[in-house]
């Protein structure tokens, strides 16, 4: 069985590769994280991210409390590239 990648990693990975979504995440984090399964710690980290947090992968790892290897994995994960943040499919 394949382990599910945490929503937190997907948010961070997509924000790294998509400047438009990064700006939306930084400008309106409460709106963007709606519907994502995040712990209180993860939510708190997202709320204090700044543009400088995305300067390097090492800086991003420090700001988000995850390892550089996890940042690489999040950026390379197919779900990080699948859909922009804050976009939901109609059912």
The whole model's pTM is what? Answer: 0.82
Tokens encoding 79? 């779900």
- Please give the pLDDT value at position 90: 46
Q: Which of 89, 85, 90, 76 is nearest to 32 (CA)?
A: 85
Is position 87 within any domain? no
**pLDDT higher for 77 or 64?**
64
Is position 76 within any domain? yes
Number of domains comprising the chain = 1
Kindly tell me the sign of the dihedral angle through the C-alpha atoms of 67, 21, 54, 50.
negative
**pLDDT of 34-54, one tens digit each?**
888 999 999 999 999 999 999
Is position 2 within any domain? no
Is position 88 within any domain? no
Is position 20 within any domain? yes
Checking if the pLDDT of 80 tops 70, the result is: yes
Is position 1 within any domain? no
Nearest-angstrom CA–CA distance, 31 and 29: 5
Residue 76 confidence class, pLDDT cut points 50, 70, 90: confident
Tokens encoding 29? 């984090």
- Please give the pLDDT value at position 89: 47
Range of the domain at 62: 7-82
**Residue found under tokens 């800086």:** 59
Is position 15 within any domain? yes
Mean pLDDT score of the chain: 86
């Amino acid at each position: 069985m394949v382990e599910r990648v945490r929503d937190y990693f997907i948010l961070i990975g997509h924000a790294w590769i998509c400047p438009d979504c990064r700006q939306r995440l930084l400008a309106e984090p409460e709106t963007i994280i709606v519907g994502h399964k995040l712990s209180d710690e993860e939510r708190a980290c997202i709320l204090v991210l700044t543009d400088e947090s995305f300067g390097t992968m090492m800086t991003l790892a420090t700001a988000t409390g995850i390892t550089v290897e996890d940042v690489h994995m999040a950026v390379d994960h197919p779900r990080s590239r699948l859909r922009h943040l804050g976009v939901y499919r109609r059912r």
